[in-house]
Chain A
């Protein structure tokens, strides 16, 4: 089973950090964890990915649990432009997009 589990939605105030959790309890040792986001009326946009170690880039940070059964995407300072659906994907065979988490950012 290549599915991941994410909350349906999360709300944050502008300028505050957002922590988006994802469970992937059946992940195998070679699967990467990818995060994409999709803004309204746009295609999905790559955010970050990792295997075992925590990862940082200009968009976000990815914290991966030691047992790799869960991960957290961290947006350090949410802006209104970060309002989107965020997808956590386990690359088992192929990238399978689930329902994702709708992030709402309030001014």
Chain B
């Protein structure tokens, strides 16, 4: 079974802090994704990566950056946390080998990190 783990289930940070959310997958998947989920807005794609050191912006990249130094690990960074970044953050991975299909193929999600920014 595919396993996607996220470093924390719950996180409380203060406005202006730098926040790191870590995601690790154990299935040698090429592609990894970061989403945020908010009531009434569904899941929104922040960034994704189809290879090590490669990244692509999703729908809402502002205020976020990402890092993928190793294939199994994808980090989401909030450079200066703000209260409107309070949300559930979900990491996912997929095995699509063709770059153009990365976003269309089955994705496997982690349990999520619920971030509260005070």
- Interface of A with B (CB < 8 Å)? 31-32, 34, 41-46, 49, 91-99
The distance from the CB of B13 to the nearest CB of chain A, in whole angstroms, is 20
Tally of B interface residues using CB under 8 Å: 18
| Total contacts A-B at CB 8 Å | 42
Q: Are B103 and A95 in contact (CB under 8 A)?
A: yes
* Given known A-B contacts A43-B90, A97-B43, A32 and B111 have beta carbons under 8 A apart: no
The distance from the CB of B45 to the nearest CB of chain A, in whole angstroms, is 6
Q: List 20 A-B contacts (CB under 8 A).
A: A31-B104, A42-B111, A42-B112, A43-B4, A43-B90, A43-B91, A43-B111, A44-B43, A44-B92, A46-B107, A49-B106, A91-B103, A92-B104, A93-B104, A94-B103, A94-B104, A96-B42, A97-B43, A98-B42, A99-B42
The distance from the CB of B49 to the nearest CB of chain A, in whole angstroms, is 14
